Structure 1
């Protein structure tokens, strides 16, 4: 019973840590201190800007621009609008989205400048896009970014005159091909004054805001972010993954123009991505507070810095449940590999090789079995050709449940009995190989494997009561982190690749074995089969569930209604 008590406490602690890490801060009220970012104040702009869809070239977009320009000028910014031709490919995309109802040929960027003390210094730029996709009010994408900029500018002014200029870049036609950003960085006369850019995006309607992309050579940039932001959300794993994906934002254009920068976004409430239901009341104000709090702190630090961050060797960085940021040079990963090898070797002395081989085999079976099971379950759930992408996004909460049930079932099938040290050491060996490969080919992402392995190896080498205490502690810490990370992984790629969570399963399983009391053969097998059956049921639920009413209007075969035409104000 004592073993089960320790295990239960470890699991409970892990759940608490995962919840802390995935929950954004509460929104600050409108009467908060003037120098702070307040989501309630920012929501006033969100409610105006996202009152209705405002795609490029519509009268509604003109109304949105009018509101933004008035707000910027009222805060003392030198503000202008730039009318630009829209590339034909962008026009065709909008024409396709609207099913021929709308075919714009022009776009309008907004640029504002808040003067600093020394206007000869490289400026800091805040960037977001003011257009939406056809048929979505876009409260999150990207009204949240625009409102964050407006509230950040207000707060920066309250903090006193900064050292350098703050440039506001609000692009048009991002949704139809990054056209506004491309035009700005190709020809806008102020582009050469930009020293560092902070861009804001969203794919969904809530959740934690994450620094998911930086410019290459981010060592100094990350150090400044770590010093400035009190509740960080960032990881070099995200920046590595995003760097190899085909996805783009406006920051992609600025990076190609050799402008260093930071990219922030939230991806929670994924069903609201490009959705007609992405209205102001559906926006998670905690996510807006999270984005604004990080962006304001970073922007203020950049504006008042003696020198903007210069290129420095990339570093490994990650937040620990949103409480603080860990950062270190990539070569530290090789020291971790050495610690793991020596620790496993020390713990393995005198143990039977056959038992270690069995542990390694079970871990390999867990990884391969989970990958195959999740691939098949995803197909059963309706993924693949013909699936509506936005409907799949709406199904992510159920897909997370499906993945969790399948992972628990497979763990119980392969590790249901209490594992002796030799099998635990063996189970770590395949993960060590993965960690070495990651350190060699993706060193900024290798921490995901190496840090948990270091903790597990240290706990394995303890004896007696210290081993039990350390085992429960490490189990809670690693399981909590893998739940936290797995949640973000599934939000990002769950609709098409839930099997991406197998690494989190493997690492969590290895750590849990430190406190796992084991189950008898009959009950363990029954629980495993029940969990796998539940995964199948959830998969079928997703498949048979009617298509979500949140899907983007242009992704449906139904006729598209024109955006209501409003008469522009005189």
Structure 2
């Protein structure tokens, strides 16, 4: 053969060549394949556009049923439709009743216009998955521009909708609600919860509001929320702060936002709001200029993060029991069921009983020292309460200071005096009776917290259980260093929970005039210092207290100044044009504030405000009052008496009937009954009430709809129904020239009449 004399290729060389060929082929194949383009980053919140939204929405006050309210609604709808979303307006009539603190009943009927948009989810089974609801409101009060309270969360929700629609859609459907009528009793949210078909599909509701012009976002309520929802919160929005204690305390204030009707959706509902730079009572300070610089970005990022996280989560309808959530220094956010606090309370009660048994067994005397310790601690607590009551003006002055140093010094000195009182009792009764008496009263406080607000009971449940656990272990340990460690472990939960709670309640609530929770927490913290009574360290405790008091007194402090009082750049116009049918005259009215040079032209020759009995009655407030030109373009309320029969039998009730219509198409009509308490009432066939009560009513957005009222009253009683049509704005052509610039949309015209039934 021709190849017979050629040498054969080594097998190793052939193997390397084959391997190299395979590698080259794989590399060429990888280079030749079409590469996927890198995924674009998810859309973020555009704060510049948020600023434009806020400027448009907060240009004027936006009370329900006003032209400015309709303009804000149209703006939101146009923005949503410009994103390609299907936005609709839910128009519905809502009715509610509220029992007043003086015993009367106030009825509210209003026509609301909610803006609702829906973003379809990406999951194949999205139709079966519960939807995520993002909710806020767009209306405002009558004397506020509502920049942070409504314009800011509405703008953030608009940009959240834009970011969600521009990127990968979440797995769940997302429903966005811009509610109307929030400022008059959450009428819009009630209308959505009761009437909208999407309400039955919601698996989680996230509501956004504001209590101030700055500060971090806080979780203010977690209605029906379980552990799965709350556990996901740190990942969804890491910057969200708050605790169930602070949320419970905020709910005691009347101006605090509420979950409200959204809590009746049959699904968990979370309420978020920022609380820094709080408003004044009427929120006249709620302006764009006062907004903290980074607040729009913080709110927008948190809202988008929450929407994306819960939009991909497996949501479930249904309600869960109350839960406690709080932050432990070094451990982060903790949440658990409030039922756990009942378990801890039961354990603490058992340990307390066992502690009394052991103390009685070790005592060679009678039960007297234990009883003396129990009531002795009660006397110390009573003395602390009386001392704080005597110092209430001083404490109130501390809340008005811009520096918290004096308040801290006051707390330290007061705590040292309280602990000194416990040590004084120990001298006469012994350590165990005083400690057990203190723990017994803390257990009483824990049970009260569990009955009134179980989600706040964690503040006492964990520290009390730890303190009593340390007491149970302490007699078994003889070495002093080990006993100190056990005592420190028993005191640690109180320090980790009560000290931060004391700080956050003072900084959050004291500037608003609410300082009692902080004082109560300070007393509870001082009570846990009774653990020191169990060790022979009295001289060291005394030295530490003296050093702390000396440090407070020796601190170089400047003269404390009260926090400056803020005034709005544009004050609301509080002038009222009152047209009264009974006297057939018109009047200028103003609250009893000092008059400026222009207002004096309306109230000449008046030295002070007074009560005008002939027009408003004996119980009316003091106010500035003068006769005004009568503007005939403003109509009186159109009321017609339809029926005023006598009763069929003596002593039986009679039913009166009348109709009412507003030719002015007033957005707000206020009515109240005088002379008697109606037994029952209806409007347009809707039953309002069926029990005897002081009666008043607010009607919103009825325009010129004919309203038919019936009242059941006692046969011998006389009935007078006062009607006031309240219209934003004033007849400016009747005013003298040179009026100062006021907040847009303020000032009010009232057209009044009284319907009498004899």
TM-score, normalised to structure 1's length? 0.69
Matches within 5 A, 1:230-241: 230-237=238-245
Shift in alpha-carbon separation, 1:321–1:501, aligned structure 2, 3 A: same
2:439 is aligned to 428
Once residues 230 and 262 of structure 2 are traced to their aligned partners in structure 1, the CA distance between those partners, rounded to angstroms, is: 18
Indicate the residue corresponding to 1:453 in structure 2: 464
In structure 2, the gaps of 5 or more residues are 1-39, 99-109, 533-537, 575-590, 594-598, 600-728, 730-740, 747-758
Contact 1:129 1:170 in 2 (8 A): yes
* 2:119 match: 114
Deviation, structure 1 residue 128:
0.8
Q: Which has the higher helix share?
A: 1
Deviation at 1:171, TM superposition (A): 1.6
Q: Which is worse superposed, 166-175 or 407-416?
A: 407-416
Residue 160 of structure 2 corresponds to residue 137 of structure 1: no
Moved more, 473-482 or 441-450: 473-482
How far off is 1:124 after superposition?
1.6
1:287-340, Cα deviation, whole Å (9 max, x unpaired):
656655554444333322334243334433333359633233444324423554
Contact 1:135-1:275 within 8 A present in 2 as well:
yes
The question of whether the paired residues in 2 share the 8 Å contact of 1:317 and 1:328 is answered with: yes
Distance in 1, Cα, partners of 2:165 & 2:330: 28
Partner of 1:509: 526
**C-alpha contact (below 8 Å) 1:199/1:250 kept by paired residues:** no
SS at structure 1 position matched to 2:177: strand
Q: Quote the residue 1:204 is aligned against.
A: 212
Task: Determine the C-alpha separation between the residues in 2 that align with 1:410 and 1:362.
Answer: 18
Distance 1:335 1:381, change over 3 A: closer
User: For 2:438, what is the secondary structure of its paired residue?
Assistant: helix
Task: Say which SS state the counterpart of residue 328 (structure 1) adopts.
Answer: strand
- Offset at residue 273 of structure 1 (A): 6.1
CA–CA distance in structure 1, aligned partners of residues 288 and 320 of structure 2: 40
Q: Distance in 2 between matches of 1:415 and 1:319?
A: 27
Q: Is the 8 A contact 2:224 2:319 kept in 1?
A: yes
Hey, what does 2:415 align to over in structure 1? 411
Corresponding residue for residue 263 of structure 2: 255
Q: Does 1:499 align with 2:552?
A: no
Cα 1:88–1:245 change in 2 (3 A) is: closer
Q: Any conservation in 2 of the 1:235–1:319 contact (CA below 8 Å)? A: yes
* Equivalent position SS for 1:253: helix
Q: Distance in 1 between matches of 2:295 and 2:487?
A: 34
**8 Å CA contact 2:225, 2:268 repeated in 1:** no
Matches within 5 A, 1:102-501: 108-117=113-122, 118-119=126-127, 121-157=129-165, 160-216=168-224, 218=226, 221-225=229-233, 228-237=236-245, 249=257, 251-256=259-264, 258=266, 260-271=268-279, 274-284=282-292, 291-292=299-300, 294-320=302-328, 324-341=332-349, 345=354, 349=359, 350=362, 364-365=378-379, 367-378=381-392, 404=408, 406-416=410-420, 422=432, 423-439=434-450, 442-458=453-469, 461=473, 464-468=480-484, 478-479=494-495, 481-490=497-506, 491-492=508-509, 495=512, 497-501=514-518
Deviation at 1:504, TM superposition (A): 1.0
Deviation at 1:149, TM superposition (A): 2.0
Question: Could you give the per-residue CA deviations for residues 125-156 of structure 1, whole angstroms, max 9, x where no partner exists?
Answer: 11111122234332321233223323433444
Task: Check conservation: 1:336, 1:454, Cα contact below 8 A.
Answer: yes
CA distance in 2, matches of 1:444, 1:408: 28
The C-alpha deviation readout for 1:217-270, integer Å capped at 9, x for no partner, is: 745543554664545535444565677887775631233454542212232322
What is the CA–CA distance in structure 1 between the aligned matches of 2:388 and 2:48, rounded to whole Å? Answer: 41
Residue 145 of structure 2 aligns to a residue whose secondary structure is coil
- SS of 2:136's equivalent? strand
After superposition, the C-alpha distances for 1:515-569 in whole angstroms (9 at most, x for unaligned) are: 89434699689869979xx9xx98xx87xx8865369858974489754379xxx
What SS is found at the alignment partner of 2:160?
A: helix
1:170, CA displacement in angstroms?
0.9
**Cα distance in 2 for residues equivalent to 1:86 and 1:402:** 50
Judge which range, 156-165 or 460-469, deviates more: 460-469
Inter-partner Cα distance in structure 2 for 1:268 and 1:367 = 33
1:152·1:292 contact (CA, 8 Å) conserved in 2? yes
The count of corresponding residues between Structure 1 and Structure 2 is 503
CA contact (8 A) 2:202 2:317 kept: no
Mapped to 2, the partners of 1:156 and 1:136 lie a distance apart of 31
TM-score by length of 2: 0.54
Q: CA RMSD in A?
A: 5.0
The structure where strand makes up a greater share of residues is: 2
